[in-house]
Amino acid sequence: MKYIIGFDDHDSPAGGCTTHFSFLISKQFEREGIRVIGYPRLTRLNPNIPWKTRGNASISIVIESDREKSDILDMVWNASIEYVKEVSRGFAFKRSPGVAIAERSNEILENFYWKAVTDVVTNDYAAKVSERLGILARGGRGIIGAIASIGFKGGRVYELLTYRKREYWEKRRTINPNQLIKYDETFFPMVYANFDYVDMEPLIMSHGKDPVLYGLRGIDPSILIQGMKMIQANEDMEGYLIFNTNQGSDDHFRISKARPYNSFIGEAKVDSVKVVQGGDCIIFAQNNVIVVYKETGELNQAARELLPGDIIRVYGAVKPSSGYGVIIEPEKMEVLELKNKIKQINPRCPKCGASSESLGRDKGFRCRSCRYRFAQNKIIVEESRSISLGTYQTRKYRHLTKPVFMTE
């Protein structure tokens, strides 16, 4: 019998990681004769939820076994509780792990995934879906992510995660950056988000007390394995696991109504642009206030060049704001239409060709050289824009954000 089992909320600031739990439970499945089918699915959920965990990811695994569904649930749930108690110490941080198991996915579960990746899902809603579909579940808030991952059909991107031996968990991570750059340059764009060439620092390493050493993302699992062989880490690893994931998909951008904590995609006509102290840029556009932070780099620079009348499509997080009610914090922006930038200049002297100065409203002009006075209208000149049509993206994007170079 085939089952899909999902789990979530196994990490904490003190350690642990839901992907690491999936690595360990996969090995337990193997020991107990339970066959794992295909790649585990790493499912990033709505990145705007205030109570999200660090990576806000849940995991699902397709398995095949003659054992009863309830027996498998008991086994995974017992392992889950032990992991959160002994490894992540998550209960001290009010973590609420959840496990769910279903016999198959369907349209209802797919819709549950879409809601969980774009909007807010309640425990009551998860309970109703479980009851309706006969899903067995244990735990608390983590059940939401567990069911969402069961509903995820799979994506284009893969992530290879390497795991540290326990004696290294409290130690600083180090790799050879030159080897990482070589790997990135060799296989780009089949791989991405490996190295920040502006700040000259690796992007693949985890930074907390979790067991993850580094993660490589790309669209070909075999290339990720080559990368693991190329990158030199200064420690022995416990192992690695490759996940199929919704990262780099833009799956969170499906809602065109700006509600707090959802991800918004929609067009807007620029009314005005304001750069505030510190470098953040605020775009006032119809009913939306769009705040483009200085840290977004190129996106912030592009926002500063917008003019009233320009039309943009914004992809961003909707957040509550004490000053504006709600704001949109964009991950990327498409410039769809640019208005002409016009300025008026004084005409040249008709006698000598020198520049002129205005004598006042409707009083004509005077040549700066020969002092000749004449009546003429100002000359309208179209200036070039410092921005062009196209897509502008924040320098350090989220897991779910599709890179601008990644096409279908």
Looking at the predicted structure, is the pLDDT value of residue 301 above 70? yes
Are 147 and 169 contained in the same domain? no
Is residue 136 domain-resident?
Answer: yes
Reported as a single tens digit per residue, the pLDDT across 51-70 is 776 668 999 999 999 999 99
Residue corresponding to tokens 């996940």: 243
Are 278 and 306 contained in the same domain? yes
Question: How many domains does the chain divide into?
Answer: 4
Reference 191, options 259, 248, 255; nearest CA is 248
Mean pLDDT of the residues in the chain: 93
What six digits make up the tokens of 126? 């998860």
Q: pLDDT value at position 366?
A: 95
Q: What is the mean pLDDT of residues 22-48?
A: 96
Is residue 56 domain-resident?
Answer: yes
Q: pLDDT value at position 54?
A: 67
- Output the 3-class SS for the chain: CEEEEEEECCCECCECCHHHHHHHHHHHHHHCCCEEEEEEEEEECCCCCCCCCCCCEEEEEEEECCCCHHHHHHHHHHHHHHHHHHCCCHHHHCCCCEEEEECCCCHHHHHHHHHHHHCCCCHHHHHHHHHHHCCEEEECCHHHHHHHHHHCCCCCEEEEEEEECHHHCCCCCCECHHHHHHHHHHHCCCEECCEECCCCEECCECCCCCCEEEEEEECCHHHHHHHHHHCCECCCEEEEEEEEECCCCCCCCCECCCCCCCEEEEEEECCEEEECCCCCEEEEECCEEEEECHHHCHHHHHHHCCCCCCEEEEEEEEEEECCCEEEEEEEEEEEEECCCEEEEECCCCCCCCCCEEECCCCCCEEECCCCCEECCCCEEEEECCCCCCEEEECCCCCCCCCCCCCCC
CATH number, position 29:
3.30.70.2200
Is residue 402 domain-resident?
Answer: no
Give 62 or 199, the one with higher predicted confidence.
Answer: 62
The model carries a pTM of 0.87
Are 274 and 238 contained in the same domain? no
What six digits make up the tokens of 400? 């779910």
Are 168 and 94 contained in the same domain? no
Is residue 398 domain-resident?
Answer: no
Are 44 and 185 contained in the same domain? no
Q: What is the mean pLDDT of residues 326-334?
A: 95
CA 52 to chain centre: 14
Is residue 378 domain-resident?
Answer: yes
Is residue 195 domain-resident?
Answer: yes
Range of the domain at 60: 2-151
Looking at the predicted structure, is the pLDDT value of residue 42 above 90? yes
Q: pLDDT value at position 346?
A: 94
Query: How many CB atoms are closer than 10 A to CB 217?
Result: 23
Residue corresponding to tokens 């990482």: 180
Q: Please tell me the distance from the alpha carbon of residue 370 to that of residue 260, in angstroms, as a whole number.
A: 64
Looking at the predicted structure, is the pLDDT value of residue 406 above 90? no
Are 29 and 131 contained in the same domain? yes
Are 38 and 145 contained in the same domain? yes
Q: What is the mean pLDDT of residues 253-281?
A: 92
Looking at the predicted structure, is the pLDDT value of residue 187 above 80? yes
250 sits in the region (left: phi over 0; alpha: psi -120 to 50; else beta) called left
Are 129 and 35 contained in the same domain? yes
What six digits make up the tokens of 34? 């339970």
Reported as a single tens digit per residue, the pLDDT across 107-154 is 999 999 999 999 989 999 999 999 999 999 999 999 999 999 999 999
Confidence band for 257, pLDDT divided at 50, 70 and 90 = confident
- Output the 3-class SS for 231-252: CCECCCEEEEEEEEECCCCCCC
Looking at the predicted structure, is the pLDDT value of residue 261 above 80? yes
CATH number, position 199:
3.90.600.20
Is residue 255 domain-resident?
Answer: no
Are 186 and 230 contained in the same domain? yes
Q: pLDDT value at position 227?
A: 95
Reported as a single tens digit per residue, the pLDDT across 288-297 is 999 999 999 9
Q: pLDDT value at position 408?
A: 60
Reported as a single tens digit per residue, the pLDDT across 346-367 is 999 999 999 999 999 889 999 9
Are 346 and 333 contained in the same domain? no
Q: What is the mean pLDDT of residues 154-183?
A: 93
Are 62 and 184 contained in the same domain? no
Are 12 and 105 contained in the same domain? yes
Is residue 257 domain-resident?
Answer: no
